[in-house]
Amino acid sequence: MTKIVHVAVGVITQENKFFLTKRLADAHQGGKWEFPGGKVELNETVHQALHRELKEEVAIDILTCTPLMQINHDYGDKKVLLEVFVVDNFTGQAKALEGQQEGWFTLVEFSTLNFPAANQAIIDKLQQCYPS
């Protein structure tokens, strides 16, 4: 039985742009752009995981966030449950702290980027919520 990895994901947005990081080459789905976040640890709520991961990965402190969606995705070698939140109220300047590439992108620019398959549902939802 394949284990399901529970992940808290932050869609960090400011001034109609979204902050993305590029997965390191040796990671699962390496070399692809993603919305920052990480695994929900044992005895940790999704909100606690999101706060911890965004502080550790991209140096921001969340003040408030809004649930966007949940995604179940099977990559074949790994199953993920993504709990996705819009993060538009935070302190600090978002920057990648783990050596990965980073950038602020518009929704239009997403079409030029390579994302993990599970992220397509997030992009589709953002295009509905933030029409250009």
Count of the separate structural domains present in the chain: 1
Mean pLDDT calculated for residue range 40-51: 96
Mean pLDDT calculated for residue range 104-126: 93
Give Cα separations from 41 to 2, 75, 76, 90, 123 (angstroms).
Answer: 18, 21, 22, 22, 26
d(CA 5, CA 49): 13
Q: What is the pTM for the complete model shown?
A: 0.92
CATH number at residue 43: 3.90.79.10
Residue 107: pLDDT band by 50, 70, 90 thresholds? very high
Place of tokens 């399901």: 4
> Which ranges in the chain belong to alpha helices (H)?
46-58, 120-129
Residue 28: pLDDT band by 50, 70, 90 thresholds? low
What secondary structure letter does DSSP report for 109?
G
Domain that holds residue 11: 4-129
d(CA 22, CA 35): 9
Percent of the chain residues topping a pLDDT of 90: 76
Written as six digits, the tokens of 78 are 């790994």
